[in-house]
Amino acid sequence: MNTFFRFALVLVVCCSGAGVSHAHHGGAMAFAIPLTGIQIDGKLGDWPEEMVEYPILNHQQAYGPTDIDAEDLTASADLSPSFMVGFDARESLLYLAVRVRDDALFVSSANQWSTDACEVFVNGRHDDGVAMQYVMCPPGGSYGDVIRSAAPGANPNLRDGDITTTRTRGMVGREGDVTVYEWGIELFDQYPDSPTALAVGTTVGFDVVAVDKDGERENSAWVCWAPFGVRKDRNGGLLGDLVLIESAAVLGTIAGQVTRPNDGSPWSGIEVYMRDRKGKMWGRVATGEDGGYRIKLPAGTYYLSVAQAEGREPIAVDLQAGEEIEGVDFAPSLISITGRVTFPNGSPRARVDILVEAEEGGTRKRVTTDIDGRYLTWVEPGSYRVLVVDATGGDTLTVGGLQAGEQVDGIDFAPKKIGSTLPTWPFTTGLALFGAVILACLVPLVRRRELLGGILLSPGLTLQEVAEKPDWVGPFCLVMVSSLLAAVIMLGKMLTGLGGFPGGGLPIGAQIATMIVMPMFTTLAVLIAAYLSWLIRGGTIWGLGRISGDRVPFYPLISVVGYAFLPEMLLTGIAMAIGTGFGGVQASSPWDGMVTSLAGLLPGLGAGNAPLRALLGEIELFSFWSLGLTIVGVQRVYGFSMRKAGCIGVLYWLLAVGAIVGFAFLADLFRQMMAGM
């Protein structure tokens, strides 16, 4: 039955993630060239000189504010990370060299928040599915148990997998204040069965992260290459593009400078975008302190623009292989407006819509805050009103008389609330109904407390009594209470996710309807699955008994099977509900397993193999306890020998597990077929 609970849990997790947007690969693109003879030793003397080095600049503040938030990561002594990348088609390995200038090496084996490290995310299929996350720490460092690896002591390591089943390897070296993470990485279309074939022209999802910890009391800096968010292991769409090319000789260089039109001074930190004729983004690069930028791209025609400026004619550049084009300069007649949105207590507010509109009418731009609550937009010179969409208690701010080249900072907001206030009556009414049903079910269960206690303490005598005096009310109420208990706690997690509707994206009526229907649907799904499981188990065993030549009424058998469900229904349901409520259950797939199953205890075992994960999920403590009680109950109802009752119970388990594993195999096969279309 824990399989049905897992499907209900996945439904809740999927519902609680509703509304999460998926980014696209465009805008972060790197090029890997063929390499041979690379020794993975933490030293880069065997890497060719013509390698392109890509800076890693996107500080996402994944672990909170740090001392490098305002630093220029291209030149900071505290942290300046970059990488070079190539591939060996014959070995089918991606070679990666990450250089991290870091004035203080900090190493710990406690967890991922406590050590310097390098993370690499790869998706061989180049889709929005899950990405593999490799992790390497300096000697003595580790992410500990949070990585859920089948080889917890390995370095490098693989989250939610077993790195020993891959050919990935790595080595860390340090010279002076520079740490080198050198990798040979195996990519997979489907881990662990389908490695990715690397060849010229292949594009894969890719990102690399430098993690810098400077002290026990300081937050770690988590700096990634692709500027698309944090949970990259769950969504390959948050990665950048890595294109495998035939050689560095096919690349050319475009360089220039961006200056302010009012005084000609360098404009640092402004982004230059490169697109092709079809609008596909091939690159984006931020200007340095001198306003300069430089980027390498394959030969082709590119259209360059600044700061996503709308309505402005881009500069067309025809780039030849090996060519270096200088002087592609910009002096955009733009102003930048930046600020931050927080809760009244000062904590950041992400995914909030900011509206910037010209006072005289015409220009209206909408921008969304990032994970730290910050926003940035570019507009023409003039006067503007800036406000938080659908905010209560947040003033509209006016910035007037702005001239080209100006930079307006500090347009901050701390609204009391954003979006329409949802009434609480749907939730309180639903919880009251749940409570009333649970209390109603507890009355007959209290009357049967001796039977329930006897199931756990003296199962043989108790099940004999149930066989002689069948009772369906007790199991019916038991299933009802355990299912509602799980649904109530999962409802809290679901509502947390649904509460993230940004800026009133749905009408209030639709929000209320959604928040009523989805919990009801989830609760019904859990109840129906639980009752079906009870009936299917009883019906299957009754059928096996008839095949063996023994005939007994269905009522006594379904009664003992129901009481035998006590450990599986009540204890597994409570464990799942508590684990979900406190974040201890990660259910991205129906086959991830309860925390009390082998799949839950060994999350890396069989990672990527849905049938094996389904099998491991059925090897679960409370399920086996209930199966043992069922065998005792069958013996009492039929009068079989314990051996014959055990054979019927085991045969039922094999049939049930075979059906589940077969379904997992077919579902995985269908997913692979759809991915290949």
Secondary structure element (H or E) that encloses residue 673, with its range: helix 642-675
Residue spans of the domains in the chain: they are 41-246, 253-325, 335-418, 427-499+509-675
pLDDT range class, residue 257, cuts 50, 70, 90: very high
CA dist 156 and 315 (Å) reads 44
**b/e burial code for range 22-53 (CB count within 10 A of at least 16 → b):** ebebbbbbbbbbbbeebebebeeeebeeebbe
* Segment 459-506, tens digit of pLDDT: 999 999 999 999 989 888 888 887 777 666 666 555 544 444 433 445
Rounded distance between C-alpha atoms, residue 350 and residue 341, angstroms: 8
pLDDT digits (tens, 9 = 90+) for 510-524: 656 666 676 677 778
Where does the pLDDT of residue 604 fall: very low under 50, low under 70, confident under 90, or very high at 90 and above?
Answer: low
Tokens at 604, concatenated: 């890396």
Q: What is the pTM of this model?
A: 0.61
Does position 189 have pLDDT exceeding 70, yes or no?
A: yes
CATH class of domain segment(s) 41-246: mainly beta
Write down the pLDDT at residue 578: 58
Question: What is the band of 149 on the pLDDT scale with cuts at 50, 70, 90?
Answer: confident
> What is the structure's pLDDT at 63?
84
Nearby residues of 417 by Cβ (< 8 Å), 6 or more positions away: 391, 392, 393
C-alpha distances out from residue 291 to 113, 312, 576, Å: 35, 20, 55
pLDDT digits (tens, 9 = 90+) for 444-464: 888 888 888 888 888 999 999
Tokens linked to 367:
């921008």
Residue 302 has a pLDDT of 95
Q: Where is pLDDT greater, at 228 or 667?
A: 667
Q: What is the pLDDT of residue 422?
A: 57
Q: Which two tokens stand for residue 3?
A: 């399989």
Question: Do 253-325 and 335-418 come out as alike in CATH topology?
Answer: yes
> Is there a cis peptide before residue 266, judged by omega within 30 degrees of 0?
no
pLDDT band of 144, cuts 50, 70, 90:
confident
77-98: average pLDDT: 96
Please, are residues 484 and 513 in contact by the beta-carbon 8 Å criterion? no
Q: For 184-198, 370-384, 407-421, which range has the lowest pLDDT when averaged over its residues? A: 407-421
Give the chain's mean pLDDT. 83
Q: List C-alpha distances in Å: 437 to 232, 235, 516, 548.
A: 42, 39, 18, 40
Domain 253-325 CATH class label: mainly beta
Query: Is the pLDDT reported for residue 53 higher than 70?
Result: yes
Distance CA 565, CA 459 (A): 12
Is it the case that residue 324 has pLDDT exceeding 50? Answer: yes
Question: Higher model confidence: residue 248 or residue 605?
Answer: 248
Q: Is the pLDDT of residue 325 over 90?
A: yes
Q: Say which CATH topology domain 335-418 has.
A: Immunoglobulin-like (2.60.40)
